[in-house]
Amino acid sequence: MNENNRDDKNKQDNNNKNIIRILLFSILALVVITLVSRLLLPDTSSSIGYDEFLEILRTEKVEKVVFNEGYNEVSAEVTKTDDRGREYKVTYTTALVDKDAALEIIKEREIPYRGTVLRSGSWITIIVYVLFLGIMLYTVISMRRGGGILGGMTRSNAKVYVQRDTGVSFQDVAGQDEAKESLMEIVEFLHDPGRFAQIGAKLPKGALLVGPPGTGKTLLAKAVAGEAQVPFFSLAGSDFVEMFVGMGASRVRSLFKEAQQMAPCIIFIDEIDAIGKTRDARYGGNDEREQTLNALLAEMDGFDSSKGVFILAATNRPEVLDPALQRPGRLDRRIIVDKPDLKGRVAVLQVHARHVNMGEDVDLQEIALATSGAVGSDLANMINEAAILAVKRGRSYVTQADLLESVEVVIAGKEKKDRVMNDKEKRMVAYHEVGHALVAALQKNSEPVQKITIVPRTMGSLGYVMQTPEEEKFLMTKAELETELTTLMAGRASEELFFDSVSTGASNDIEKATKLARAMVTRFGMSEEFGLMALESVESQYLDGRAYLNCADDTASKIDEVVRRILSDAYARSKALLKGNEKAMERIAAYLIEKETITGKEFMKLLAEVREPQTAGDAPQTAAAAEASASAETAGAEIVRTGEAASSGAGKEE
């Protein structure tokens, strides 16, 4: 305790010495400003004799006269004309010898005049003095409060929570069991560090949460603080970014200083890529960001982890982070917070459904099966949309139908009931969608059709086909990918077969098919021409997953040829399947035009009634698949499969 008091006294003495230095510097600066202002201000001493000044008042065109009695001066502004007839102004100044004589002439000629106490230059000096004294006063007050020379500008603006403020625990986080297990070790260490210290274990300095947006990285960080019941500093990487070089670094130092005073605690930096990007001088750098990163690296090396300061960072762009930030000893662990699997989606839905009145017919297992690829925020949004729909329909509880409708709202948007297509467009869209559904039903490796609709949606789709998986898949075979390509091409094939023309409705299908076929060639090694050769890499895998080629220009041209051939083969298969089932196509399309929306059960029933005998190779879905399609009527729609939307729409509006 005595050492702490001694340290506080030393800090106070140093602070007082700094204040005295600043005051002495201020006095010296004021003297310098005064001398400089005297030298720089224009000389206003008498430039002409007083008699000459009176003569100017009598004879010249005088605009105004100013009496400056504080300096015993008088000046006159005179308008003159040069040789070219242009007017210009000249100011004459002289000592004020006889004011009455001057006033007599001024009144006689009715010249405007006024009196001043100080010259304009004096006002400038006074303003400079006031501003300077204000800055010095602010600096002294800031230093007295411990804010440094720049006051609160260099202080960390992190939000500090304690356990009761976060209100989040691991029970509020679902679908991330592996991530929770890794973080639970940190919580146990913060609770009982002695148990780990006995064996020589040290608390990791930090962990990096990596995953797509919406998977719950921030929620996990708050849950760690809530479980550990320690102070929780929460801020974003952009909070360190400032216009002035060195300001962000000062905030980093202030943050760690405050955290060490409140240890044990957790520092959470969200979107750390804002300050943690790789330092690269080849293309120019950002001095402020790099100095902030350097300060962060130095502070992470400098503090003692045994005191219980733990750093959590989150990003969805790990590939851009500086290697020095990710090495052991700084962010020791990388924790993947990925999209939840089927079991995880059920758990997430249960967490968000706890505070919502659910009907007896609600089956969250079916909703989870229908939302493959959805993240936690998507599922929370679906539950909320279902609750809103229930209220709009006059009910106090949510039904399975509400949940299914909310899934569709998230996939394709709300129905555009005011959008009325003409008969030709409606018929073309109907044939387009039935083409997708029919080709899917006629292939063995496709997923059962759950719903067909030609009702426009707000996200641009004029219609779509929903296919629900019978089980969750993590891998897709070449045969399944080829089936997907054939199904995607069926919409354009049906337009060509039944209308002798094509429309813009297949634009989205073609885009998806091209991306899938290119991935088969460049990433999956499924082409005979290139074999097991990786020709493409994926960057920002947790964001848009954009791919870029790693090959020569000649190879890129060959890739285009192979992709074109794969798509042409898929298109030929689609046309062949549709040609052999024209009667079924026309019957189902007519029914869809009448109803606008049909279920998978209705679709399979119509197909069974009118389908003509086919060859064994083109056999329709098995009875088990048909039964699964019928039961899938209440199962919802698959959102994402291997990163792509599973539903095949009639295209987006042009």
60 is catalytic: no
**418 inside domain:** no
The CATH number assigned to the domain holding 613 equals 1.20.58.760
Q: What is the pLDDT of residue 640?
A: 33
- Give the largest CA-CA distance in the chain: 126
CB atoms under 10 Å from CB of 171, counted, come to: 11
Q: Can you list the alpha helix ranges (DSSP code H) found in 262-341? A: 287-302, 323-326
In a domain, residue 606? The reply is yes
User: Which residue, 361, 387, 412, sits at the end of a domain?
Assistant: 412
* Domain contains 298: yes
Q: What average pLDDT score do residues 463-467 get?
A: 84
Is a pLDDT exceeding 60 seen at residue 626? no
* pLDDT score of 488: 94
Is 627's pLDDT higher than 50?
A: no
- Give yes or no: residues 183 and 217 share one domain: yes
Lowest mean pLDDT among 145-149, 290-294, 506-510: 145-149
- Among the listed residues 366, 433, 484, 602, the single catalytic one is 433
Over residues 219-238, mean pLDDT? 81
Would you call 192 helix, strand, or coil by DSSP? Answer: coil
How many domains does one find in the chain?
A: 5
My answer on whether 135 and 175 are in the same domain is no
Residues 451 and 558 in one domain: yes
Range of the domain at 64: 50-118
Weakest mean pLDDT among 12-26, 214-228, 521-535, 542-556: 12-26
Alpha-carbon distances of 221 from 167, 196, 224, 618, rounded to whole Å? 12, 22, 5, 53
Are 201 and 297 in the same domain?
yes
Domain assignment present for residue 154? The answer is no
Q: What is the 3-state secondary structure (H, E, C) of 376-395?
A: HHHHHHHHHHHHHHHHHCCC
Same domain, 507 and 644: yes
Alpha-carbon gap, residue 175 to 349, rounded angstroms: 9
Same domain as 479, residue 542:
yes
- What CATH code is carried by the domain that includes residue 177? 3.40.50.300
Instruction: Verify that 230 and 328 share a domain, yes or no.
Output: yes
Q: Which residue has the higher pLDDT, 375 or 47?
A: 375
Return the pLDDT at 124.
60
Asked whether residue 319 falls in the same domain as residue 354, the answer is no
For residue range 278-326, what is the model confidence (pLDDT) as tens digits?
876 554 456 677 888 888 888 887 666 666 788 889 998 888 888 888 8
Any domain includes 488: yes
Task: Return phi, psi of residue 631, to 5°.
Answer: -70, -20
Q: How many angstroms separate the CA atoms of 491 and 151, rounded?
A: 66
pLDDT given at position 82: 76
Residues 432-459: what's their mean pLDDT? 88
Kindly report whether the global pTM for this prediction surpasses the value 0.85.
no
For residue 372, give the CATH number of its domain: 1.10.8.60
371 assigned to some structural domain? yes
Phi, psi of 160 (to 5 degrees): -105, 125
SS (H, E, C) 62-120: EEEEEEECCCCEEEEEEEEECCCCCEEEEEEEEECCCHHHHHHHHHHHCCCEEEECCCH
Whether the CB-CB separation of 334 and 217 falls below 8 Å is answered with: no
Q: Which of 154-168, 302-316, 416-430, 562-576 has the lowest mean pLDDT?
A: 154-168
Are the C-beta atoms of 189 and 206 separated by less than 8 Å? no
Distance of CA 175 to the CA centre of its chain: 23
Residue 633 has pLDDT above 50, yes or no: no
Give the pLDDT band (50/70/90) at residue 484: very high
Assess if residue 417 is contained within a domain. no
pLDDT over 60 at 145, yes or no: no
Would residue 72 be called left, alpha or beta, if left means φ above 0 and alpha means ψ between -120 and 50 degrees?
Answer: left
- Examine the fold and report which residue of 291, 312, 336 is the final residue of a domain before the chain moves on: 336
Tell whether 469 and 542 lie within a shared domain. Answer: yes
Q: Percentage of residues in the chain with pLDDT exceeding 90?
A: 16
Joined together, the tokens standing for residue 165 give 């403020």
Mean pLDDT is lowest, of 146-150, 426-430, 444-448, 511-515, for: 146-150
Residue (of 17, 20, 99) closest to 53 by Cα position: 99
Q: Judge if 191 and 279 occupy the same domain.
A: yes
Which pLDDT belongs to residue 438?
Answer: 93
Range picked from 13-22, 39-48, 403-412 for highest mean pLDDT = 403-412
Residue from 272, 288, 277 nearest 237 by CA? 272
- Per the domain annotation, does 643 fall within a domain? yes
- Residue closest to 620 by CA, chosen among 570, 577, 576, 575: 577
Claim to verify: residue 181 and residue 74 sit in the same structural domain: no
For residue 549, count CB atoms less than 10 angstroms from its CB and return exposed for 0-12, middle for 13-18, buried for 19 or more: middle
User: Which residues, listed in sequence order, are joined to residue 457 by a DSSP beta bridge?
Assistant: 415
> How far, in Å, CA of 123 to CA of 65, rounded?
20
pLDDT tens-place string over residues 538-594: 877 777 777 778 888 899 999 999 999 999 999 999 999 999 898 999 999 999 998
More confident residue, 631 or 199: 199
Which is nearest to 228 in space by CA: 280, 275, 264? Answer: 264
Write down which residue in 318, 336, 354 finishes a domain: 336
What residues contact 31, with CB distance under 8 A and at least 6 apart?
A: none
* Residue 332 and residue 348 in one domain: no
